[in-house]
Each structure stands twice: as structure tokens, then as C-alpha cells.
Amino acid sequence: MKLLRMVMTATSLSAALAGTPLATAATTAPTASPDELPLFVGQPLSGWSIGVADFERGARLTGENAVVPKPAHPQVPTSEVSASRSSKSAARDALTLQWKEAWFATLRLEGGPPVNLRPYLPQGTLEFDINVEELAHGGLTVKLACGEGCERKVNYLLPARALQGKGWQRLSFALNCFHRDGDDFGAVTQPFSVDTSGTGKLSIANVRVLKRGVPNAFCADYRTESVTPSPLLQVWALEWWQPRHEQKLAQVQQQRASGQLPEVVFIGDSITQGWEDAGAPVWQEHFARYHALNLGFGGDHTENVLWRLQHGEVDGIAPKVAVLMIGTNNTGDRQEDPRTTAAGIRRLIDELRMRLPATRILLLAVFPREQKPGGPLRAINDDINRLIAGFADGETVKFLDISRVLMNADGTLSADVMPDWLHLSEQGYRLWANALVPTLSAMVALTPAAGPPAPSASRSAP
């Protein structure tokens, strides 16, 4: 039944999104397009340049080497990012990106006129040669952008690591990996970039778009990614995410052994995990009395939470209330269609109802982000909230939106509450707690205590 529900959810979501019409094509007769569009074959596409950047500064590769300069007060003083001309089959026909201790590094085409990729969409591929020299502590994301609010990327972290030390390899991605229904590929503003972080070194050559290609690289289906369970695969999370999951499983066992099962469980991303950091004093004041369990994991999307639920994090407990807030990373990382994020949240509610049938769910609106109202990411979160408000059933699921409590009267965010316009300070956690406690207390009081369930035998295989 669970598998059938997942399939039905993914299928119905794909069908709904597939019905969205494509952007209207230009009325002028199209000119014939070549079967191959060379983005970088020894030199960049006419009018374009090679750029290299970290998250603070950038540089153009105009000679043999380019080093990203440091600002006066860099946030990561030890990081290094550079690009250079290198060789594959001929002199200077390749580009090498090298980075060290970087939060973000990119090698990209930039500065040229928009590129029309519409003719290449039906059977087209984005292809390039890659030589991974060092990637044990780095990753790889392949990206293009088709205008404001249209940044499309494929996370290729684990397959790219498997290429380390194997010399030059050809990668071919279906161009549809980077396209969503409604995107206009008639004016692509960034036709190619490789993004990474951590430490590593790789080289790129022969970057082309083919009108008819054969893909050999996998990409997730954006229409169902939010409802397909997966661990979090990010460079900065690989070393701690799985150990934190194991630690939470052990914590549940300890609480069972002590007879202090949680009456309340918080489920979410870094904003929820922050109750263990900036919000710790407030947590102790308001939620320690419930032996509350914090299942917040930084960077999580809806599908990552789903994976955790299916791998035992709520097995063997019977909390009175589960507080759920998730979705802002679906927005920030993928600029995801609000409908797919909402489908992921709906899927989580279904999973919780199946695993914790006696637990009431307090579904929180996704918190605002970006300093000022009207920003594209805040707008996506607002749309998510309008959709998920309808998930409340007045009985087992209650929806609560405390966004206004976190904002100034004009809709802006204060650095005293959200220092980075996303994560909360201690003051922010205090505002959250004060707005949450009346509803949470009432729900706890309404829910009868349940006996401790036996540990579930339905935990999914890794």
C-alpha cells in the first residue's frame, strides 16, 4: 500500500505538471540550427568568455591562468579558487578548475549574448569531456540558466567522484535534464557551468550541445524528486549527515530505555536543527518538559526527510504532536515549482500518519527568507504556504503560519531575528517559541497518551 501511494503521488504530480503549456514560441520563422553547438571547443562560443568565481568574487580567464581575488575581509580566508588553460588532445584545448577549502567554486561561460537552445530540446544533449584528478572532498554540479528565476542544475557528486583517477571521460546529459515545463530556452543566459565546493581539481574540454545525442549520465525527474526518498547528497553534508541520522536513532533507543519517550518531535531542516544551537536556551525553557526530540537536519529537502522517516527516525515512539516545517531548501537549492514542494510535504504527512497514527501534526508555514518582500525565493515560499494550508483537516493536522511574527511591519526581515535572512538568532527562536507554544500546548493537552509502540520492523533497507 505504501509503495502504491508513492507511485500514485509521483504519477499524479507528473501528470499535473505535464499539462503546463510551454512558453509561446516566437512568431517569426526560425532559422536552421546546426546539429552541433560548440560552447567551448578550444575556445568559447563567439561573444562569450570563460569565468571562474567563488561566492564572493570572480575573474575572467583571458590568458593562461586566472585566480579569484580576495576581498578585503574574506569570509573564508584560507580558500583558493583558480582556473587555467590546459591540454587534452592539443595545446590549450581544455580548462582546469582547482579549488581548496571553498564554500563555492564555479567554472562557467559568461558575458555573451543569449543562446537559443529551443531547437535542441527534443533529443538534444549537453556533452563534455572531463578529467577528475581530485574529488574526494569535492563535488560536481552541472548547471545552465535560462533567465531570471530559471537556474537549472544536475547534482552529479557521487558519479563524479567515481571518475577520479580514470583519465578523460565523456559525459552526456539529456538537455531536458535542465528544462522544466514553461521554461523558455530561446534565450539561455548561461549555457554551461560546473559548480563545486570543498577541495578538488578537474579539467573540462569539448563542451557541446548536440541536436541528437545519446545521454550516458543520470538526472532526477524534477516532477517527482520531492517525493522520491533520498539521503542528502551535498559535499558539505556527506561527513555528518549519516552520522547524525545514526545518532538520532540511538537517541530514540536511549529515550525508550529510560522511559522518557518524547511527547513532541520537531521535524525539519537547519532552521529546526538550530534549536540545538542558537535556540538551545529557548528549547530548554519551553520544550524540555516534553522530552522533545529534534529531527532537524541542515540542508534537507522534502525527499531527505522522507528517507529519514523511512529509515527509522520515528520508529518505536508515539509522540502526541509532530511539528513539521520543511521546504525552504527545495526553494533555495532548486527554485522548485511550489506544487512539487507541496507534494513532498503532503507525502511526509502521509508517511507520518502511517507511522504515527495517534500523533497530531502541527504543520508550520515555511518561514520567509530574503531581506525584503517581493524577492523570488520568498515568493516561492509564499506560494508553497498557500498550497499546504489546505492540508489541515481540523482534526489530526493543523496549519500554523507565524511569518508575521518574524517580520517587521513592512514585511522586511531584521538582522536581529534572521542574521542571514534565512536562519534564526536566539531572538528569532524566542519569537518562534512564543508564537508556537499556545497552539502546541493545546494540541498536547488534547492528545491522549499512547503506550510505547514496539520498534518498527518496516524500516527500509539502505
Write out pLDDT tens, residues 36-66.
999 999 999 999 999 999 999 999 999 999 9
- Is CATH 2.60.120.430 what the domain over 33-210 is classified as, yes or no? yes
**Alpha carbon distances (Å) from 448 to 217, 263, 292, 305:** 51, 10, 16, 26
The pTM is what? 0.88
- Count the neighbouring beta carbons within 10 Å of the beta carbon of residue 85: 17
Cβ-proximal residues to 16 (8 Å cutoff; 6+ apart), any chain: 339
Alpha helices (H) in 194-337, listed in sequence order? 241-258, 270-273, 280-286, 302-310, 328-334
Enclosing H/E stretch for 340 = helix 338-355
Strands 141-145 and 293-296: unpaired
| Amino acid (one-letter) located at 445 | A
pLDDT number for residue 424: 98
For the four alpha carbons of 171, 173, 175 and 178, in that order, the dihedral sign comes to negative
Please tell me the class of the 226-446 domain: alpha beta
pLDDT band at 20 (very low <50, low <70, confident <90, very high): very low
Write out pLDDT tens, residues 96-137.
999 999 999 999 999 999 999 999 999 999 999 999 999 999
Q: Is residue 132 exposed (0-12), middle (13-18) or buried (19+ Cβ within 10 Å)?
A: buried
* Residues with catalytic roles: 270, 420, 423
Q: Tell me how far apart the terminal alpha carbons of the chain are, to the nearest angstrom.
A: 20
Domain range annotation of the chain:
33-210, 226-446
Q: Phi and psi of 268, rounded to 5°?
A: 175, -150
Q: Is residue 226 exposed (0-12), middle (13-18) or buried (19+ Cβ within 10 Å)?
A: buried
Strands 141-145 and 190-210: antiparallel
The DSSP string of 396-429 is SEEEE--HHHHB-TTSPBPTTT-TTSSS--HHHH
